[in-house]
């Protein structure tokens, strides 16, 4: 394919003789946005790095054609690449906190790019000139109060501002091509929408944007064309609307199918058959298993003031139902989850489990009843002791449920099988498992205690869409067959809508809206809920 | 994982790194030293205490590889037999100090904040003085003697270990897997025993290996000053001190015990650092 800014034919990249990317054709014109979409390990990032000459040793790049902004980039040396990077190709990466030097101010960070490139072309710029350029660029990327921000350090900025500062450092030398690698992945929904808007505006100004993303919904918002990657190859490419509306390749279809917001509530997301977990006791779906009244929790901040993380929150969870809690980072949803689990004693209010005191108990008494309420966390890996093997993780939980030592091994195998884990994985360290497998181990561990309530804190946020679909299906199986009540905490509205019967929307520690999932998502009352919903990118609704 | 893979710091199947020759040599030296300390009779048949005035101050020869001292005692045999006491200073003191450090560090890390504060202030005061100085003060209080030297080095070394145990305890205590174990309903004592302690031990054992070297130097230093075992007991620090006055006329009396101390300390340090790198590589 050819394009004015980027023209790639037959690009292959190999490491130690293993081809990780094969036969890639791409083209990008000015004022256009091309999205490379794929799950982790699909080769999308390494492909984009080839356009920056940043393939680490011992990687080998070969291509029939690799033209970057008019320059044949196939045989460029490191010095030639340095001239190209920043001035003609800019890079915005995922995590602005690690991409920005913690010891330098934002202003210094941004001006360095200009210093390097302008210095090369027109001689040194004066301090005042640099300052003015940085100021203008910060204004350009819509950073409010640019004079102040330029003097601050990366950790003093919010995620959204930081990401915009990173964009500014990529665009200050006015490159015609911008590579954005998962630029919104770590951001809250409303902030994500702002960054996407910024990228769309840069595109409108004539910059060519190569967007790398795992998220079809994000892509749909700004990309003109999409290339779907899997295992180092492009399996489907075309105009965004066409690909999303009528995907030709089965993988694209599977990816789209795994997106919760494209499904009716409760429908299966993955192609995997339901697991047989065995029947739990029948549950009375009107019985309240977990309730909280007037929960209040504050923390002392380093400067001595108190931050109210959760402010007067009450909730009720009935047997076999799912309560979704939605909010952006800092909304207090995780703290609320910890209070419900009895890991944190609230400053005010009370939590009742099965109608009996829970949060007010001393830990010694609470411990006896902990089996009834279990948790699944966002990052399963860190919730496992790094020295312990999968089998031992499950056996510890079984031991706590009073399973005699001789039976534990067999029961662990059975438990693993129920959540779809092969027996041989029991001998492995969680480190050697994939993200989806780890989350299955975490679910198996929770189930080992035969809980009636499961608190899930962002359980699928770290997973690829197709894996997320499988794990969400597993949760559905668990709930339907064992009659578990779940509290499902997430920032992802699509996921929450899919799994929840009832939803709480939290902002700054306060519940701003609550209601049945369907009515809340179709007719949100509170302005914040409306803003959140309008910020949700949905595939198929292209700009 | 095979031994070579372990030493090379790689899991089976991954690309091999360079073999750490220095660490292998250091390990071999430590092994020889350990055998020497346990079975000195294997290396020499001469009695380290047998005097022979006629053979006073003989330079190194085939019969006496390290020469003889003022009383005609065989220096090689004295250095060999000296290994036991010198090494046991280092190993015993470090072992006891590590155990005490674990107890104090865990308590400080898990106790209410005010207990932690008191313990930490005391440890910080102790840490403000050089280890040898603390040891000297302890000796001054207890009086000289072999056992007292060990006690003194132990006390001087405890704060370092207690501090690292406390810091790792705080880290591990706040980690998600400890919280997960609590949420699972595990008893607090078992959470500490199964999940906190083992994760604290790793970094500590690495530090202790390096610490043995320091403790050996402290022990030899105190003996050198005449505060530990008394002549004619063979101990490297004491041997060094005995040979000091005749350094100009019979260099071998002081130099060989000195080399023994140096080699031991270098070997423990090199091996300790190697363990540290291996360990940190595994954690990341």
Q: How far is CA A146 from CA A107, A183, B68, in A?
A: 9, 21, 81
Asked whether the beta carbons of residue A374 and residue B175 sit closer than 8 angstroms, the reply is no
Task: Identify from A370, A377, A386, A443 which residue to disrupt to test chain B contact, counting B C-beta atoms within 10 A and taking the largest count.
Answer: A386
In degrees and rounded to multiples of 5, residue A86 shows phi and psi of: 85, -50
Q: Helix or strand or coil: residue B30?
A: helix
Tokens 């003015």 found at: A132
Determine the residue among A334, A375, A376, A383 to mutate to test chain B binding: the one whose Cβ has the most chain B Cβ atoms within 10 Å: A383
What is residue A314's predicted lDDT score, i.e. its pLDDT? 95
From CA A472, how far away is CA B124, in angstroms rounded?
51
Across the interface, do A375 and B183 touch by the CB < 8 Å criterion? yes
Contacts of A300 (CB under 8 A, 6+ apart): A306, A307
B100 falls in which pLDDT band (50, 70, 90)?
very high
Task: Using an 8 Å CB-CB cutoff, list chain A residues near B185.
Answer: 367-368, 370-371, 400, 449
Q: Does B186 contact chain A (CB < 8 Å)?
A: yes
Predicted interface score ipTM higher than 0.90: no
pLDDT of residue A321: 92
pLDDT at A316: 94
What is the bridge-based pairing of β-strands A65-68 and A6-15? Answer: antiparallel
pLDDT, mean of residues B144-161? 92
* pLDDT one-digit tens code per residue, B20-54: 888 999 999 999 999 999 998 888 888 888 888 88
Contacts of B183 in chain A (CB under 8 A): 341-343, 370, 374-375
Beta carbons within 10 angstroms of residue B56's beta carbon: 14
pLDDT at B150: 93
Q: How confident is the model at residue B263 (pLDDT cuts 50, 70, 90)?
A: very high
Q: At what angle do helices A465-482 and A435-448 cross, to 10 degrees?
A: 20
Asked if A385's CB is within 8 angstroms of B184's CB, the reply is no
CB A319 within 8 A of CB A485: yes
Sheet holding A208-213, edge to edge: A89-92, A177-181, A208-213, A33-37, A225-230, A233-239
Note whether A307 and A293 are within 8 A (CB). no
Q: In the prediction, which pLDDT does B13 show?
A: 39
The angle at the Cα of A174, spanning A172 to A179, to the nearest 5 degrees, equals 90
Closest partner residue to A400 (CB to CB) among B180, B186, B198 is B186
**Could you give the CA distance from residue B63 to residue B76 in angstroms, rounded to a whole number?**
10
Structure pTM?
0.75
Nearest to B187 among A342, A343, A367 (CB): A367
Task: Return the pLDDT at A119.
Answer: 67
Q: Is the pLDDT of residue B4 over 60?
A: no
Cβ-defined contact of A449 to B186 (cutoff 8 Å): no
Beta strands A322-326 and A306-318 are unpaired
Distance CA A34, CA A245 (A): 17
Report how far residue A131's alpha carbon sits from residue A107's, in angstroms, rounded to the nearest whole number.
8
Greater confidence (B141 vs A127) lies with B141
Q: Kindly list the strands in the beta sheet with A356-357, ordered across the sheet, starting from the edge strand earlier in the chain.
A: A306-318, A288-300, A348-353, A356-357
At residue B8, does pLDDT exceed 80?
A: no
The pLDDT confidence band at residue B9, using thresholds 50, 70 and 90, is very low
Distance of CA A308 to the CA centre of its chain: 26
Q: Which one, of B67, B27, B68, B76, lies nearest residue B51 by Cα?
A: B68
Would you call A34 helix, strand, or coil by DSSP? Answer: strand
Q: CB distance A382–B199 less than 8 Å?
A: no
CA distance A321 to A486: 6
pLDDT of residue A516: 93
Residue B14 or B68, more confident: B68
* Residue A470 distance to chain B (closest CA, Å): 23
Q: How would you label B140-156 residue by residue, b for 16+ Cβ within 10 Å and e otherwise?
A: eeeebebebbbbbbbbb
Whole-number pLDDT of residue B280: 63
Query: Token pair for residue B137?
Result: 């003060």
Yes or no, beta carbons of A400 and B195 under 8 Å apart: no
End-to-end alpha-carbon separation of chain A, Å?
A: 25
Q: Half-sphere exposure (CA, 13 Å, Cβ side) for A68? A: 28
What's the whole-number mean pLDDT along residues B194-221? 88
Neighboring chain A residues of B186 at a CB cutoff of 8 Å:
367, 396, 400
Look up residue A410 and give its two tokens. 């067999």
E strand or H helix at A481, and its extent? helix A465-482
Q: What is the pLDDT of residue A279?
A: 63
Q: Return the pLDDT at B17.
A: 56
| Token pair belonging to A191 | 């902030």
Identify the closest residue of chain A to B177 by CA–CA distance. A383
Amino acid A203: pLDDT: 93
Rounded to whole angstroms, how far apart are CA atoms B108 and B105?
Answer: 5
**Helix (DSSP H) and strand (DSSP E) numbers for chain A:** 20, 21
Tell me if residue A178 falls in helix, strand or coil: strand
A370 CB neighbours in chain B (<8 A) are 183-185
- Sites in chain A below the pLDDT cut of 50: 1-2, 541-543
């Amino acid at each position: 394919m050819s394009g004015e800014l980027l023209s790639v034919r037959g690009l292959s990249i190999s490491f130690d003789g293993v081809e990780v990317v094969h036969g890639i054709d791409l083209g990008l014109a000015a004022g256009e946005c091309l999205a490379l979409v794929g799950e982790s390990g699909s080769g999308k990032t390494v492909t984009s790095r080839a356009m920056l000459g940043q393939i680490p040793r011992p990687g080998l790049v070969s291509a029939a054609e690799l033209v970057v902004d008019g320059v044949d980039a196939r045989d460029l040396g490191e010095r030639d690449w340095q001239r190209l990077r920043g001035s003609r190709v800019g890079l915005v990466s995922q995590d602005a906190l690690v991409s920005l030097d913690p010891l330098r101010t934002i202003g210094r960070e941004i001006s360095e790019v200009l210093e390097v490139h302008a210095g090369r072309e027109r001689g040194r710029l004066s301090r005042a000139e640099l300052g003015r350029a940085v100021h203008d660029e910060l204004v350009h990327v819509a950073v409010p109060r640019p004079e102040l921000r330029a003097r601050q350090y990366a950790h003093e900025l919010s995620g959204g501002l930081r990401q915009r500062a990173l964009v500014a450092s990529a665009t200050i030398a006015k490159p015609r091509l911008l590579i954005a690698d998962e630029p919104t992945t770590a951001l809250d929904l409303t902030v994500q929408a702002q960054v996407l808007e910024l990228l769309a505006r840069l595109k409108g100004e004539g910059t060519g944007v190569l967007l790398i993303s795992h998220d079809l919904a994000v892509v749909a918002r700004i990309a003109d064309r999409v290339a779907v990657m899997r295992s180092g190859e492009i399996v489907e490419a075309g105009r965004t609307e066409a690909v999303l509306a009528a995907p030709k390749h089965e993988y694209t279809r599977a990816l789209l199918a795994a997106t919760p917001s494209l499904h009716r509530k409760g429908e299966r997301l993955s192609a995997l058959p339901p697991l047989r977990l065995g029947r739990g006791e029948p549950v009375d779906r009107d019985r309240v298993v977990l309730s909280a009244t007037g929960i209040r929790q504050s923390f002392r901040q380093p400067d001595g003031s108190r931050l109210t993380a959760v402010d007067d929150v009450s909730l009720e969870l009935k047997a076999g139902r799912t309560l979704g809690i939605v909010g952006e980072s800092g909304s207090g949803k995780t703290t609320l989850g910890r209070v419900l689990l009895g890991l944190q004693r609230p400053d005010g209010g009370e939590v009742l489990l099965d109608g009996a005191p829970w949060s007010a108990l001393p830990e010694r008494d609470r411990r006896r009843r902990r089996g009834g309420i279990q948790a699944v966390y966002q990052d399963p890996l860190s919730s496992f002791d790094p020295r312990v093997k999968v089998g031992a993780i499950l056996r510890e939980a079984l031991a706590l449920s009073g399973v005699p030592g001789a039976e534990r091994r067999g029961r662990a195998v059975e438990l693993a099988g129920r959540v779809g884990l092969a027996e041989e994985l029991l001998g492995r360290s969680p480190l050697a498992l994939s993200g989806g497998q780890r989350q299955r181990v975490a679910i198996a561990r929770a189930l080992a205690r035969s809980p009636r309530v499961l608190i899930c804190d962002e359980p699928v946020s770290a997973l690829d869409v197709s894996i997320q679909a499988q794990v969400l299906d597993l949760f559905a199986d668990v709930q339907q067959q064992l009659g578990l009540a779940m509290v499902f905490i997430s920032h992802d509205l699509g996921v929450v809508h899919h799994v929840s019967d009832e939803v709480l929307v939290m902002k700054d520690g306060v519940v701003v809206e609550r209601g049945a999932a369907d009515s809340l998502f179709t007719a949100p009352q509170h302005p914040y809920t409306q803003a959140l919903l309008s910020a949700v990118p949905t595939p198929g609704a292209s700009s | 994982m095979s031994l070579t893979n372990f030493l090379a710091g790689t899991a089976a199947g991954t690309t091999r790194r360079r073999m750490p020759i220095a660490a292998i040599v250091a390990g071999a030296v430590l092994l020889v030293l350990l055998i020497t300390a346990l079975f000195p009779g294997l290396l020499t048949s001469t009695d380290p205490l047998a005097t022979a005035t006629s053979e006073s101050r003989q330079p190194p020869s085939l019969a006496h590889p390290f020469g003889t001292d003022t009383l005609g005692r065989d220096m090689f045999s004295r250095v060999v037999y000296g290994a036991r006491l010198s090494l046991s200073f280092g190993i015993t003191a470090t072992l006891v100090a590590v155990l005490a450090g674990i107890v104090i560090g865990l308590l400080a890390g898990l106790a209410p904040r005010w207990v932690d504060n008191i313990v930490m202030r005391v440890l910080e005061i102790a840490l403000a003085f050089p280890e040898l100085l603390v040891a000297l003060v302890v000796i001054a209080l207890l009086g000289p003697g072999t056992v007292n030297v060990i006690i003194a080095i132990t006390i001087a070394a405890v704060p370092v270990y207690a501090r690292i145990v406390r810091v790792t305890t705080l880290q591990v205590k706040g980690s998600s897997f400890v919280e997960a174990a609590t949420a699972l309903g595990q008893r607090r004592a078992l959470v500490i025993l199964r999940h906190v302690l083992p994760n604290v031990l790793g970094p500590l054992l690495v530090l202790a290996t390096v610490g043995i070297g320091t403790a050996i130097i402290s022990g030899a230093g105190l003996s050198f000053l005449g505060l530990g075992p008394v002549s004619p007991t063979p101990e490297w620090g004491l041997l060094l001190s005995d040979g000091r006055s005749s350094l100009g006329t019979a260099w071998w009396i002081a130099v060989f015990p000195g080399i023994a101390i140096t080699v031991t300390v270098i070997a423990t340090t090199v091996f300790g650092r190697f363990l540290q790198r291996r360990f940190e590589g595994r954690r990341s």
